[in-house]
Structure 1
């Protein structure tokens, strides 16, 4: 076993959109925000067989996987394609916010996720499944007087988890197909079905006039609503904090 461990290898190769040594000739402030963020990850495993040990039919002495990444101009991850074909995508609110779903970012950045999506490719069941998470944010005033360069904070107050099932189109029925299969094909719909699995609601203590060390901005309650079950279930948690003694902050 010790000999096998010495011979096992794992190689990681990362590819970048810009040369890694670009910082030697270009000031860091002038480089794109995607600088040094990998766009491709290639991994190799080499696991030699153990001496005098029967090998499983599915055992692979060598394995290679490739993962792809994409980013927006601000350096936020927007797409990740995994080796099995599944995809992870992220959409963000603009820096100036979006109506009641997200206030403007106090520092002018585009960084708050609006929607996270994870697409699972078809497996044993001929259905593509997409899991999505929707985020909603609210503004909270900073302490008075705040030492921060802005007077508001942006905090997440609601998260909704949903599942979309996209049935794949089945081939046309033929003479050799069983009646049960024909019925199943006729019931296939092109329109995806959405199931809201659960919703998380979060609240925070809003006491901006309190002194530093108070519970202002800390978590006040969490309310999880499970809607994907036959009967809606609500699980709530409340949080209580003690103010820090004077002189400790």
Structure 2
């Protein structure tokens, strides 16, 4: 019986966590703030204490999860309505470098050493501080950089060149399996795919491990 209850608690916790992720939006999957870490730790604590404490019933667990979900939802709504609440809970970016000048006060406030800063710059493909005009330390710990113009890569716009826009590619065959849903989404048929494969020198789709296609570049087959 204990195994069944623990299983129910795990499934319930998983469902609650998925509901929170869906409610908060996809941005939370890409950007973690200190507040996000706090509610993840709280969720782990609730789940751990419940699993290993038989005195806590499934209903008590559901109540705790309900309060946890409701609190997060309310706080997120408050964050979107009030800049002061957002700054308090989520934090704000710190402008560490302004027009080439380093703000040592903010460096010390964030307990950031120069070599740590250089490491973060190298991860962005910048190997000298002389290239950086402005640098922001984001609430999630990432950095955003504005380079001096002379160090920025030359673009087609700079050279006044008209470059063709690339279209996104789609995966049509995955390890020999034709992706029917993808074909339907782009308005193509399996007959069309087989005909195009024959033109490319592949008579049997099962011999293809990878096949992608885009309007701008056509087929790429392995």
- Confirm or deny a common fold (TM above 0.5): no
Structure of higher RCO (CA pairs closer than 8 Å, 6+ residues apart): 2
TM range (shorter): under 0.3
| Structure with higher helix content | 2
TM-score with structure 1 setting the length: 0.18
| Structure with higher strand content | 1
